[in-house]
Structure 1
Amino acid sequence: MSNVLAIAATTRTLRNLLLAQMPALDAELGDLEVTLQSPDVARKGISKAQLNLFLYQVVANAAWRNLDMPGQVRPGETAPPPLALNLHYVITAWGRGENDSDALSHRVLAAAMSTLHDRGVLDGNDIRNALPDNDLANQIERVRVTPLPQSVDELSRLWTAFQTNYRISAAYEAAVLLIDSQAAIRAPLPVLRRGPQDRGVIATASAAAVLDTLTYPRTQPAVRLGEDIVLGGRQLTTDHALARFSSLRLGAPIDIAPLAGDAAGSLRVHLADATDDADAASRWAPGIYTVALLVQPPGLPPLLSNELPLVLAPIITLSPLGAAAGDLALNLTCMPRLRDGQRVFLLFGDRLLVPQSINNPADTHQPSALVFQVPGVTAGTYTVRLRVDGADSIPVDFGGSVPAFASSQQVVVT
C-alpha cells in the first residue's frame, strides 16, 4: 500500500511524464509548459504552448472499498481496508499567445493523449522519482490511467464549475490508489484446541424442537399453579428435555421436565403449586411468560425451540365475602407472591381499583396480602378479579356440570 503522499505523487508523475514525452512526439512543442492549475487561472502569465493537468475529483473505488489487503490480513483477523481512491483529471491545451490559428492547441492535446495512451500504466521508477518519501510504487495494485468519457452535459457542468470559458479538453482517470489505514489490526492468537477435549465441531442430526400450540386446561384464558398445559409441535421429546418458562419479573428462568402428552406430537407440563412444591409461592410470579423447549443431550450443545406466550393467572382469596352497602375494605391474598414493580389492579364488578397496600410476609411460603378500598358500594353481587401485569385471576368454578362464577370470588353486598 502507500502513504498519504499518493495523490500528490500521482499528479507529479503524470506531469513529469507529459513534460518529458510530448516534445519527443512533436518538435513544435520544444517550449511546452505543463501546469497543474485550475483552468480559470492556468493561462495567466503564460504565452507559450501549454498543457494544464488539473485534478478535479477524487472518488472512492467501490471494488477495493471493503476488500482486505491480500497477504496482510489472514482469516480470523480484522483490519480496516485501505483507503482506495480513483483520481479524475482534466487536461486542457493552449497554443502560443492569444492567436491559435495554427491549431497548435490541438497538437498539444493530441500529443498528451498519445502519451497517456502509450503509457497507461505508471512506471514504478517514474513514481519514485516524482516525489521524495512516497511509496506509491510499492502498493500491490498498479496505477492505471484511462480515458474518462463524458457527455456534453457533464462537460458543460464541469466548465461551469471552473467559472471560465470552455476549451477543448479531455478527462482521464488514474486508479487505483491504496492508502494505508492507520487503525490497528486485530490478530487473535492461533487456535490450540477446538472446543473441550479438542473435539472440534459438534454436529447433530436433528433440528431443534418447534412449538406450534399451547393449550390451557378447560379452554381457560390462562393457567394457574397446580394445573397442566399441553404443548404441541414437531420434534418434541421428553429425553433430556426441559420446558423453560421465562419472565422479566424473574431473575432466572424456571425449568420443568415435561411428560408425554395424550396425543402424538404433544407434551404435558405440570406447574406445581404449594402442595407439590413448598417454594412455589416465591418461585413464580403472576403475569406473562414465554415457554420454550430446551433439549440438551449429554456432551452436546443445547437446542432451544421457539417461544410461545403463556399467561399465569393469580390465585386469590377474598375477605369479607359479604358486607353492608357503603364503603368497603376488601382484603385479598395472591398466590404466587407479587414482585416489585408489577402492575396490580382490582376489578370489582365494573370498577378498576388500585391497591391501598401490598404486603409480602417475611415467610416466603405465604402469599402476598393486599388491601383495597371500594367506596360507595350499593347492594348486589360483585364478581372480583385481580389483574397482575395483564393476567387476570379466574373467577370460574369448573366443578359442576357447567362452568359458573365461583362464590369464593364474589362479594355479596346487602
Structure 2
Amino acid sequence: MSNVLAIAATTRTLRNLLLARMPLLDGDLSDLEVTLQPPDVARKGISKAQLNVFLYQVVYNAAWRNQDMPGRVRPGESATPALALNLHYLITAWGRGESDSDAISHRVLAAAMSTLHDRPVLDGNDIRNALPDNDLADQIERVRFAPLPQSVDELSKLWTAFQTNYRVSSAYEATVVLIDSQSPVRASLPVLRRGSQDRGVFTQASAAPSLQSLALPHFQVGVQLGEDIVLTGSQLSAAGALARFTSLRLDQPIDIAPVAGDQPNTLRVHLADAADDAQAMSRWVPGVYTVALVTQPAGLPPMLSNELPLVLAPIITVSPLTGTAGTIALNITCTPRIGAGQRVFLLFGDALVSPQNLTNPADTTKPTTLTFQVPDVAKGTYTVRLRVDGADSIPVDFSGAVPAFRADQQVVVS
C-alpha cells in the first residue's frame, strides 16, 4: 500500500521513464521535452520536439475497491479497504516549430508508445527516485500501463473539453494505485471457548424442515381467522414445532403450534378467532404474511424452514344493506383490527372508495369501524368487499352445495 503521494509518484515516474528511454529509441529526439501540462497550455513557450503527459481522469478500481489488504487484516478483523484507483493518461506529441514538416510528432508518439509497450510495469527503483517520501513501490500490486482504446466520439468530447485543437494522441490506463486508509484496524480478541459448554458446531444433514405448499380452505386466495391452513413439505413433525407468521405490520411474529395433518408430510394450523382467543382481534392485522416452520430437535439449536406467502383476509359486516340511488353512506366493521399505516379501500361493485373515517375502539376486543361515502350509485345489487394492504374480504358463502355471494355483504339500491 502507499501514501497520498501515490498519484503524483506514478505521474512523475512515467515522465522520467519516457524522457530517459525515448531518445534511445530515436536518436533524432535528443532535444525532446516531456511535460505534464493540460493540453491547452502544454505548447506555450516550447518549440522543440515535445511529449505531453496529462492525467485527465481518475476512476475507482472495481477489483480492489472492497478487498482487504493481504497481510494487514486477518480473519475476524475489519478495516477500511485501501483507496484503489485507475489513472487515465493522455499522451500528446508535437514536432519542432509549427509546421512539423518532417512528421517529428509522429516519431515522438511512436517512441512513447514503444516505450510503454516494452516497459509497461513501473520499476520499483524508478518510483522511489521519482518523488521523495513516496512509498508506491512498496504496495502489494505493481503499477501497469495498458492502452486505453478511445472511439472517435470519445476523443472528440475529450478535446472539446480541453478547448483546444486536436493533436495526435493516445490514451493509457495505469492500474492499480492503492492508497492506504487512515482508519484504524479493529482486531477482536481470540476466542477462548465456543458457547457456554464449548460444544462447537452442530452439523446434521436434512434436519431442517422444508415447506413446499400451503393449502387454504375452499381454494380461496386468503384465509380468515377461525379457519385452518395445511402445510405440505418434508421433515415435518408437529412435535416441538411452531408455525411462525410474520408481517411487516407486526412488531413480533405470531407462533402457533400445529397438529399432524390428514396426509403424510402435512401439518394443520388453526388461526384462532375471537371466540377461541380474546386477543385475536388485536393480535393479528389483515394483509400479507409469510409462514415458516420453527423446530428444535433434541440436542440441536432451533431450525427455521423456508417461508411461504399467506393472505389473511378481513372479515366484515356491512350496514345498511339497502339504499336509494345517489350517494350511499355505509358503515363497515373489520376483524381483525386494522393496524396503523395500513392502506384501506372499499370495493363497492367495481368502484374503489377511500374511507371517510376509521376508528379502533379503546376496547381491543372490538373490531375496527369505518365509514364510507359512495357517490353516484345507480339502481342495482352491489357486492361489497374491504381491501386492506391488498387483502380482500371474502364475500362468498361456501356452506351450500354451490358457492354463492353472501347476502349480508350485498347492498340493494333502489
Residues 275-332 of structure 1, C-alpha deviation per residue, up to 9 Å, x if partnerless?
43233333334x334241322315414313222223334164x788999999999877
C-alpha displacement of 1:257? 0.9
Measure, in 1, the Cα distance between the counterparts of 2:379 and 2:167: 98
Which residue number corresponds to residue 288 of structure 1?
287
Highest CA radius of gyration, 1 or 2?
A: 1
Corresponding position: 1:314 with 2:312: no
Which residue number corresponds to residue 226 of structure 1?
226
| TM-score for both structures, normalised by structure 1 | 0.66
Please, which moves more after superposition, 157-166 or 335-344?
157-166
Q: Is the 8 A contact 1:15 1:34 kept in 2?
A: no
Which residue number corresponds to residue 74 of structure 1?
74
Look up the equivalent residue of 2:287 and give its one-letter code: I
C-alpha displacement of 1:262? 1.0
Please, which moves more after superposition, 56-65 or 236-245?
56-65
Measure, in 2, the Cα distance between the counterparts of 1:345 and 1:152: 59
Note closer, same or farther for the CA distance 1:41–1:261 as it changes in structure 2 (3 Å cut): closer
- The SS at the match of 1:276 is coil
RMSD: 5.7
Q: Is the 8 A contact 1:384 1:395 kept in 2?
A: no
C-alpha displacement of 1:106? 10
Equivalent in 55, 58, 61 of residue 53 of structure 2: 55
Q: Is the 8 A contact 2:9 2:134 kept in 1?
A: yes
| TM-score for both structures, normalised by structure 2 | 0.66
Which residue number corresponds to residue 214 of structure 1?
215
Measure, in 1, the Cα distance between the counterparts of 2:79 and 2:375: 68
Measure, in 2, the Cα distance between the counterparts of 1:138 and 1:257: 63
Note closer, same or farther for the CA distance 1:235–1:96 as it changes in structure 2 (3 Å cut): same
C-alpha displacement of 1:239? 2.7
Q: Which consecutive residues of structure 2, in runs of 5 or more, have no partner in the other structure?
A: none
Measure, in 1, the Cα distance between the counterparts of 2:149 and 2:327: 88
Please, which moves more after superposition, 117-126 or 236-245?
117-126
Measure, in 2, the Cα distance between the counterparts of 1:130 and 1:203: 57
Measure, in 2, the Cα distance between the counterparts of 1:403 and 1:223: 16
Note closer, same or farther for the CA distance 1:307–1:195 as it changes in structure 2 (3 Å cut): farther
Q: Which consecutive residues of structure 1, in runs of 5 or more, have no partner in the other structure?
A: none
C-alpha displacement of 1:33? 5.5
Which residue number corresponds to residue 165 of structure 2?
163
- The SS at the match of 1:210 is strand
Measure, in 2, the Cα distance between the counterparts of 1:100 and 1:322: 100
Measure, in 1, the Cα distance between the counterparts of 2:289 and 2:251: 14
Which residue number corresponds to residue 297 of structure 1?
296
Q: Is the 8 A contact 2:227 2:270 kept in 1?
A: yes
Please, which moves more after superposition, 389-398 or 237-246?
389-398
Which residue number corresponds to residue 2 of structure 1?
2
C-alpha displacement of 1:55? 1.1
- The SS at the match of 1:128 is helix
Measure, in 2, the Cα distance between the counterparts of 1:115 and 1:328: 87
Corresponding position: 1:36 with 2:38: no
